[in-house]
Amino acid sequence: MNPYFRQDASLHAFLTIESSGLWEGYKKTVSVFKPGSKLESAEENEGRMRWMQALDAYSLPVNQSAAISKVRAEVSVLEALLKNLAGSAERMISAADSYALAMQDFGQQLRPGDGSSARNALVLARASEPIRLVLGALGDTFAQWSSVSTCFPTILERQLVGPLRNELNIARELRRMFARRDALALTIDKHRRALIKYDAERRAFEEGNRVDRVLK
């Protein structure tokens, strides 16, 4: 088993407890992890321990703005790359669909009465028995090949396009998160400037004995 899950008691319980009632009861006994707290050793796993070790050893960069700008640039590149890959994968699915249909049509043309055109059926009917046997065997081969190829689009969708779309959505959400951070920073700066202006006006009025003019 993956070392990140080998010591995970919750995963082990999920895989071994068959009764839904016992599973619901077990879930109520599991401690909820909170920053700064320690779980029992039975509830620890490799992934959590490494993550906490990374957090303990991590120090904030001196120039946080530069670090954020670097991450933002990497997210932008990653989003563009994932978008291109997802588009290419979707075109691959379309091509796989066309390939499967063409394969099916090709096989049918070799088997009279099996979806072949009327004209082609007449041609096959006039062929000699040895030729029909060869074409029939070839038709069987392509029928099996076509049956396999029809699964390709579904496999590509589940194993390639789906994960790519998921990663693309994550990259887009990161970009939107940075946009929200920028908007929040502008709002904070706006209020900070307003507060500085207010303090300056208050000091000016107080020094001129015009306390009554101080903004409320």
- Within 10 angstroms of residue 58's Cβ, the number of other Cβ atoms is 8
**72 contacts 78 by C-beta, under 8 angstroms:** no
Average confidence score pLDDT of the chain: 78
Lowest mean per-residue pLDDT among 76-80, 118-122, 192-196: 118-122
Report the share of the chain in percent with pLDDT over 90: 22
> For residues 78 and 204, which has the higher predicted lDDT (pLDDT)?
78
**pLDDT confidence tier of residue 62, bands split at 50, 70 and 90:** confident
DSSP string covering 144-211, please? HHHHHHTTHHHHHIIIIIHHHHHHHHHHHHHHHHHHHHHHHHHHHHHHHHHHHHHHHHHHHHHHTT-G
Rounded Cα distance, 201 and 216, in Å: 11
Cα distances (angstroms) measured from residue 38 to each of 26, 54, 155, 177, 188: 19, 16, 42, 30, 36
Predicted confidence at residue 40, as pLDDT, reads 47
Q: What is the pLDDT of residues 115-146, one digit of tens each?
A: 555 566 666 666 677 776 777 777 777 777 77
User: Virtual CA dihedral for 77, 80, 86, 88, nearest 10 degrees?
Assistant: -110
Longest C-alpha distance within the chain, in Å?
A: 118
Q: What is the pLDDT of residues 142-172, one digit of tens each?
A: 777 777 777 888 888 888 888 899 999 999 9
User: Virtual CA dihedral for 67, 69, 70, 71, nearest 10 degrees?
Assistant: 90
* Residues counted in the chain: 216
Question: Residue 164 half-sphere exposure, CB side, CA atoms within 13 Å?
Answer: 17
Candidates 23, 28, 25; CA nearest to 12 is 23
> For residues 119 and 98, which has the higher predicted lDDT (pLDDT)?
98
**pLDDT confidence tier of residue 36, bands split at 50, 70 and 90:** low
User: Is residue 35 pLDDT above 60, yes or no?
Assistant: no
What pTM was computed for the model?
0.56
Predicted confidence at residue 50, as pLDDT, reads 77
The identity of residue 194, as a single letter, is A
| Distance spanning both ends of the chain, measured CA to CA | 66
